[in-house]
Amino acid sequence: MLSGSQYEVVDGGGEGPVVALAHGAGGGVRENFAPLIDGIGERRFVGPYWPGSGDTPRSGAPLELDALADAVVAAGVSSGADRFPVVGLSLGAAVAVTAALRHPEHVSGLILTVGVARADVRVRAATDSFRALAAAGAPELAAYVLRACSTDEQLRGLSPEDAERIIADVRAAIPPGAPEQMELAGRVDVTGLLSAIAVPTLVVVGGGDRLIPPDIEREFGTVRGARVIEYDGAGHIFTPPEATVWAADVADFLHTLP
């Protein structure tokens, strides 16, 4: 695995208390969390890019939750904070849970959005398909991602021209390290850790998610005292209106933390 100094760390530059970010497989800090970084100015958002995303080099070894969790906490501590909440999205939700257990002295709360609590056959089918298409250099990979991360309602509203434009954008945005990140997502299981979480937790579920099934996302709700919000019909990637609601819900939850 990489040393901490090899991770590209994003500092959103906001003022106020630090919030650490753990992004999703095939995503990135700015790419996944722009609604929070841009929409919640009273917080300072920081977080690392996983190996193979952003300017973080790819890893020569399989990725592990422990190392990614350590990198997230290191980003928060390096920003000058001692205790801070962690927002995890998709794979990042499992990373955030791991961070809370490995570094209880630093993690003060969790916000787990469209998260992978465990990889069942449905999740593994999705991650294996992604990796196979990527390994083959298949141009259809971007179309697969679009379908997996969108809802039927969203797709029905696209013209052929819009779909082609979005597919081209997706193709350009997939980071080189996405296959390794998807490999980790395909073997995640943090359900045995959830009963040990002892910090305030917000769980956000995409009710129409086709990449990570909503029932898998809801399993994070077994954290003691967790608050669960479900966006009916939302896919794995939120629409702009959904992202605005998400940012507001995150901001409200952050205000409840000590």
- Give pLDDT, residue 14: 80
Check whether 3 has a pLDDT greater than 60. Answer: no
DSSP, collapsed to helix, strand or coil, labels residue 203 as strand
Report the candidate in 25, 24, 32, 30 with the shortest Cα–Cα distance to residue 8: 30
Sequence spans of domains, the chain: 4-121+177-256
Check whether 130 has a pLDDT greater than 90. Answer: yes
Q: CB of 218 within 8 A of CB of 211?
A: no
User: In this predicted structure, which of 6-20, 24-38, 185-199 has the lowest mean pLDDT?
Assistant: 6-20
- Give pLDDT, residue 113: 99
Per residue in 65-105, pLDDT tens? 999 999 999 999 999 999 999 999 999 999 999 999 999 99
Per CATH, the number for 4-121+177-256 is 3.40.50.1820
Check whether 40 has a pLDDT greater than 70. Answer: yes
User: In this predicted structure, which of 8-17, 126-135, 158-167, 182-191 has the lowest mean pLDDT?
Assistant: 8-17
Q: Rounded to an integer, what distance in angstroms lies between the CA atom of residue 229 and that of residue 175?
A: 30
pTM above 0.75, yes or no: yes
